[in-house]
Each structure stands twice: as structure tokens, then as C-alpha cells.
Amino acid sequence: MPKMPGAKINNFINLSAVLKKKILLIFNILNQKKYLFYFILLAFFFTVYALVLGQIKHHTKLKENNFNSFLESNEFNNIKEYFFENLNSPYKEHNYTVVNNDTLEKILKKYNIKNSEINKIAVEVKKKKLFNIYAGTEIKVVTKKEKESNRIISIFYPIDGITTVEIKKNKDEFRVTKNVLKLNRKEVVLSNTIKNNLYTAAIQAGIEPNIIVEFANIFGFEVDFQRDIRTGDAFEVYYEQFVDDDNIVRSTGKIIYASMLVNNKELSLYNFENDSRKGYYDVDGKSVIKTLMKTPINGARLSSSFGIRKHPILGYNKLHQGTDFAAPRGTPIMASGSGVVLRSQKYKGYGNYVSIRHNSTYVTAYGHMSKFGRGIKKGVRVNQGRIIGYVGSTGMSTGPHLHYEVIKNGKRINSQRLKLPSGKILSNEARNKFEVERIKIDVRLAELRNNS
């Protein structure tokens, strides 16, 4: 039989004209009955779903798995959500991000909740002191729509990395429960080679930012992270993690051992906790922290201490934010600790002034100098004891003296009351204990390196 494509096309056109009419009719009904439309679509969808499911049963296990993954796919979930949203479920889930000055009351008012209900919840939460949350926290609120207002079904929010709060309606009362994750202590050893900077390399190695900061602090007296680090330098850090049952890190503990290879020199530091000698020590039991000198000048007399005093030039009472040492003009002044020169210049009433950054916490400053030490310029690295200048009377000063300041985290503190762990070497019993501890750490370190 010869084929008759023309007839087929005509049939098709007729058919589609009929279809069009039918579709128009359906749309008319749908405009009036929106929900009927959703119902039909849903019914259609489930019919297809059932058919496909029936088909699947005849297929291989592999195909079944594929289908399951489709059901779990975003596409399927989107369709599902679309239907549920439009079916006008009385239950709604709200995700709210806390902003500054939010209170639980303020947040709940946004969801048209009865005041009486809000008050009940607020009282319960306050009783248990569980609403100390920070801006940025995600709160999940599930509400049920009623005639005039919404009712709370549940509220859920985290207070910190391991604690969450759940508020659930139980008849007419609200039950507030605090859930604390059980954490397991874990020891890890992570290392990397530095290409750009320590921070990037450490992040790449999977080290948590607070451990990186701690690491930088430990080495702060030994390594200048801006200047000393070269491509190819390396580090290793052995520390505590606290993980939940899913092995997700929820918090970190102390650094047990840290090592840096800088310019082919290796410096390994061990955490040692022994009474007042708590801190980090090298293989020889020498403390990494070198104390800042109380008196960075020889043969001087303390002439004015830190505190309120009558200013010798201004004449009125003023907080003296440093310590003065009277000494003959030209007496050498030493860097009270190793660090990098921040300033070496004339500076305000200080006259000739030098400041040194020792680590991320401490800066020291020296004023009224007659002249600067040789080579003391901004950015130069100095060791403890290096001569940075000479006593003078430049700036706002009545006679030759050194004005010495210790600045901790940007705040001037009394240098004479400064309590820094000494940089001395452990001896006798403390040294023996340290040796035992150090060997234990080395053994554990070797095990952990082999495991990873």
C-alpha cells in the first residue's frame, strides 16, 4: 500500500483542533477551580509515578537504583514542594536569620503568633537561659495556620557548635529541650608545604582557622610570618579535635606539637603543662616565649612609674601610660624582646621614637631618644638586647630619660607588673618530666603520621 502522508496530516490537524477546544474548556474550568486543577495534576502525576513504579519492578536492580536516585533528586523535590505549597498546607516552615538586637519575641511576632503564646514560650526559654544567640544564627519555626493567627508547632535553633534548642508544643504547654552533642576527642597530625603564605597552606591542609591563629601565636617569638617565610617552607601540627558521631569536627582543643621548617631550619615545639611552666618548649626544654625585659636599659633608675601623676610639663593630672627611667644622655637602650620595628621616627610628644612588634599580642615603645641605633628602621627585625637607640630628652621631656611602654593587644599596660612566662630552660625535675612527655608525643606523632 502506498503511503498517504497528506491524509495523515489532515487527520492530525482535525485532531489538534478538537484538542485545542478541549484544552480551552479545561482551562476555563481551571480558572474557576484552581484547586481542582492541582488535584488533577497531582492525580496525573501519581498515576505516572505508579505506572513507572510498576514498570520498574520488571527491570533490573540497577535501574531501580537509578529511579530511586531520581526520586531523591532536586528536580523531584522541587515538583513535590511546588505541589505542597500550592495545596495550601496549614503547616509552614520558616527559616529566619537572626540580626543584631533580635529577641525571640521580636522574631515570633513576624509570624502572626498570638501574644499569649509568644509570652508562654519566652518565659520558658528565659527560665532555662537559652536565648543567648548571635546575629547570623538560623532559626527554624514551624507554624500552623488557624483562623485569625498562627500557632507555633516547633522552634529549633543552635546556640553554639554543639548545643541546639528545641521548643515543641505539648498540649497547651511548650516544652523546651536543650540538646548537647556528645563529642569524641580525636588527635590529628596535619602538614603542608607553603607556597604563598602559612594561612593558605594551612587551610588547604584542612586545619581549622582558630588552630592556625594559635599556631602563629606559638611561633610568634621565633618566626616573622611576613618576612621569614619562603616558598618550600613547611609546617606540621598535631592537635586535638572534638568530633560528633558523624565524625564532623565541632570544636578544637590544644596544639600538642607544632613544627616549622623555615629556611632549612627546623623548629619543633612541644606542649608541656607543669605548674607555672605551662607552655611550648623546644627539644632542649627551652621555652619558646622570651620574656620582655622589665628594664631595657642598664644602669638606669626608675623615675616615674605607670599610673596617674601630675604631668611635669602639662601640669595637670594625667595617666602616665609608660615607665620612665632616668639615665645619662647617650645611655644605650635595648630591644626588650625580639621582633620587627614598627616605627623609627620623630613621633608626637615622644620625640625620637621606636616601636617594636614582638608577636600578635605585644608591642613595646621607646621615647625621647637622643638618636636611633644603627640600622634601626621600620621593618627591620631585631633580637632581644639589640641597641635600638640612646637616651635623650627629645619631644615633651624635662630631662634625659627613657619613656618605655608595653602595649598588649593595643592597650598600654604596666611593664613593671608584666607577667610573661620566662624563656628559661627547664631543669631538674621539670626537665625530666618534660623529657618523658616529649618522648610520648614523638611516639604518638609517628603513629598518627603512619595512619594518615
The answer to whether residues 297 and 316 touch, using CB atoms and an 8 Å cutoff, is: no
Among the listed residues 290, 358, 386, 403, the single contact to Zn ion using CB under 5 A: 403
Supply the minimum distance, in Å, between the C-beta of residue 320 and Zn ion: 6
Part in contact with Zn ion (CB under 5 A); list of ranges 55-63, 72-80, 384-392, 399-407: 399-407
Window 303-342: contact mask with Zn ion (x via CB under 5 A): -------------------x-x------------------
Supply the minimum distance, in Å, between the C-beta of residue 350 and Zn ion: 9
Comparing CB distances to Zn ion, the nearer of 358 and 403 is 403
CA angle 90-95-97, nearest 5°? Answer: 150
Part in contact with Zn ion (CB under 5 A); list of ranges 33-41, 225-233, 396-404, 407-415: 396-404
Number of residues near Zn ion (by CB under 5 A): 3
Supply the minimum distance, in Å, between the C-beta of residue 408 and Zn ion: 18
Supply the minimum distance, in Å, between the C-beta of residue 341 and Zn ion: 20
Supply the minimum distance, in Å, between the C-beta of residue 324 and Zn ion: 4
Comparing CB distances to Zn ion, the nearer of 356 and 445 is 356
Window 96 to 115, contacts with Zn ion (CB under 5 A): none
386 binds Zn ion (CB under 5 A): no
Part in contact with Zn ion (CB under 5 A); list of ranges 49-57, 246-254, 374-382, 398-406: 398-406
Comparing CB distances to Zn ion, the nearer of 164 and 303 is 303
Part in contact with Zn ion (CB under 5 A); list of ranges 41-49, 148-156, 384-392, 397-405: 397-405
Supply the minimum distance, in Å, between the C-beta of residue 348 and Zn ion: 12
Comparing CB distances to Zn ion, the nearer of 268 and 415 is 415
The answer to whether residues 301 and 275 touch, using CB atoms and an 8 Å cutoff, is: no
Supply the minimum distance, in Å, between the C-beta of residue 433 and Zn ion: 43
Supply the minimum distance, in Å, between the C-beta of residue 207 and Zn ion: 43
Comparing CB distances to Zn ion, the nearer of 291 and 303 is 303
Comparing CB distances to Zn ion, the nearer of 169 and 403 is 403
Binding site for Zn ion (CB under 5 A): 322, 324, 403
